[in-house]
Amino acid sequence: MKEGIGKTHGKIILMGEHAVVYGQPCIALPFFDTMVKTVITPYKTQRLTCEFYDGLLETMPELMEGLQRVIFATLDTLGERHTPLHLDITSTIPIERGMGSSAAVAGSVVRALFDYFDQPLDYNQLLALINVSETITHGSPSGIDALTTTGTEPVYFIKHHAPKPIDSHLDATLVVADTGVLGKTKEAVGYIRRHYEEKDVKKAIEALGDYTKQAKQALLNQDAQTLGTLMNQAHHLLQFLHVSSNELDVLVQVARENGALGSKLTGGGRGGCMIALCRNQDADAIMNALKEHDATHVWKMALEGE
């Protein structure tokens, strides 16, 4: 039977969320422990099946408008707008936790549709199509989610510039913990936009950019201690910008008290996930402590010591 398959994965922003919207750099990593897979097969109507919906593409709920738009835009691009087919999406990326779920779902669908119709997919075209959905879901996306959920390397990214892969081999572990609370990226981005003209807010955004530049250097120098300190400083500024939450602050603190070199929220904030940079031998104890303090899910990612 004819079949189209598209896969993508989650992403973690190490440094620079929110500041990246204002032209500052950010560093993001692909997160292969969470992934999305879309399988397309022939069908009698245009139907979508996923965890939240099973029905016609035309009647998808408003909350799924971003996904619906990207499917129609891709079908239009392929000249197959009304071809009957069945899209089956499965994902292990928790939604609205700052892990790039919406971009990853959009990316897997675009890849699967191009695969189904045997058409080559240019990478820039993939990013542009994902941004059709991201613009609806996020407002004014920087493009970092589209890039990292489809790419395979850590990147240093400045909006409207070509991303630069970072060749990093840090002998440390990144622990990721989910607060279990939905993040509110659009709301947090909107809050900063409304306050951006205030001198202190602008200064905080610039400082976040400086920390990200220093973090890149720390990664290249394989200096986990300095990177951890920069993560702590970044979290402090994100708190000042009102994009953290009590749940995030508790987990950030628990990680530090249990030996993390640094910890901060990751992604849009106001819920969602936090990250902690740990010495390899400390990672399991820090994960346990985070679970004891109500993290609903914890993961660990080796940062590739040599």
**Which is closer to ligand PMV, CB of 159 or CB of 300?**
159
**Least separation in angstroms between CB 20 and ligand PMV:** 5
> Of these, 39, 48, 73, 144, which contacts ligand PMV (CB under 6 A)?
144
**Which is closer to ligand PMV, CB of 17 or CB of 282?**
17
**Which is closer to ligand PMV, CB of 49 or CB of 135?**
135
Q: Is 147 in the site for ligand PMV (CB under 6 A)?
A: no
Q: Is 127 in the site for ligand PMV (CB under 6 A)?
A: no
Region of 15-23, 43-51, 72-80, 119-127 interacting with ligand PMV (CB under 6 A): 15-23
SS3 per residue for the chain:
CCCEEEEEEEEEEEECCCHHHHCCCEEEEEEEEEEEEEEEECCCCEEEEECCEEEEHHHCCHHHHHHHHHHHHHHHHHCCCCCCEEEEEEECCCCCCCCCHHHHHHHHHHHHHHHHCCCCCCHHHHHHHHHHHHHHHHCCCCCHHHHHHHCCCCEEECCCCCCEECCCCCCCEEEEEECCCCCCHHHHHHHHHHHCCCHHHHHHHHHHHHHHHHHHHHHHCCCHHHHHHHHHHHHHHHHHCCCCCHHHHHHHHHHHHCCCCEEEEECCCCCCEEEEEECHHHHHHHHHHHHHCCCCEEEEEECCCC
Q: Is 267 in the site for ligand PMV (CB under 6 A)?
A: yes
> Of these, 20, 110, 208, 238, which contacts ligand PMV (CB under 6 A)?
20
> Of these, 185, 229, 233, 245, which contacts ligand PMV (CB under 6 A)?
185
Question: Interaction with ligand PMV in 187-216: which residues (CB under 6 A)?
Answer: 189
> Of these, 25, 100, 209, 262, which contacts ligand PMV (CB under 6 A)?
100
Residues making contact with ligand PMV (CB under 6 A) = 13, 17-18, 20-21, 98, 100, 138, 141-142, 144-145, 183, 185, 189, 267-268
